[in-house]
Chain A
Amino acid sequence: MSPEKLVRMANQIATFFKTQPKEDAPARVAAHINDYWEPRMRAQLRDYVDQGGEGLDRAVMDARAFL
């Protein structure tokens, strides 16, 4: 998957959970990604975060710990 697409998909998820009233967006972003993303995609996302995560939403960066 292209990095742009990866970033867009992850950010879309973050955008939703950030609007929710509880302050637990990173954990819920991670839970969503763990439930629906295949391991290859998760690995790619982890690598991308670890390489600096350019363009990623803060909530996705913070979700890294739970992926």
Chain B
Amino acid sequence: MLSREVAKRVFAREFGESDMAFKEQDDQYAPQYLLTPTGAKCNRIFFVGTLIEKGDIGNDVEYWRARVVDPTGSFMIYAGQYQPEAAQALSGIEPPQFVAVIGKPNTYEMSGETLTSVRPERIHIVDADTYDLWILETARQTLQRLKQLNEGSEDATKAKEHYSTNIEHYKEMVLEALKTISKSGEKVSFIDLSDI
């Protein structure tokens, strides 16, 4: 039995800045991966955020597009007839709403630029506590990947080669995300840009 792929935790900004999609085998059914700048090799991702807009952009059949924001940016999700459960769920959710999404990364080219989106397998309404937990977990795992970027693992090496990853940029992203769940923000010694 084929083992199920782990759902990686990445923030929207990092996901949006990814463009390295590949397969490991030359087979049309081989799993597709998206390698992110901090070296997360994603066949599936799990994220929580606020669904802020959605619309049916299909002609004859329903094709839902929605935007889910996290503290760092937004994920675009598209669900049509091949994602029946997610499409049905999306049609019933009125934004704004906290949602959890489990889905597959997708990339497409538009005027020379690679855009990322998500094909959701599942999308469900969750609460604010779940959002906090996801931010903390994703911050922790992103930080761990940043620390391991120079340790020479295959994914890290490939990510560094492809993106010339700017560690400072993603460190700031993690800090921004953590700030949104920190209750003692004042005591923490980093610069809050919105106060300037």
Instruction: Indicate, yes or no, whether A interacts with B.
Output: no
Residues of B at the A interface (CB closer than 8 Å) are none
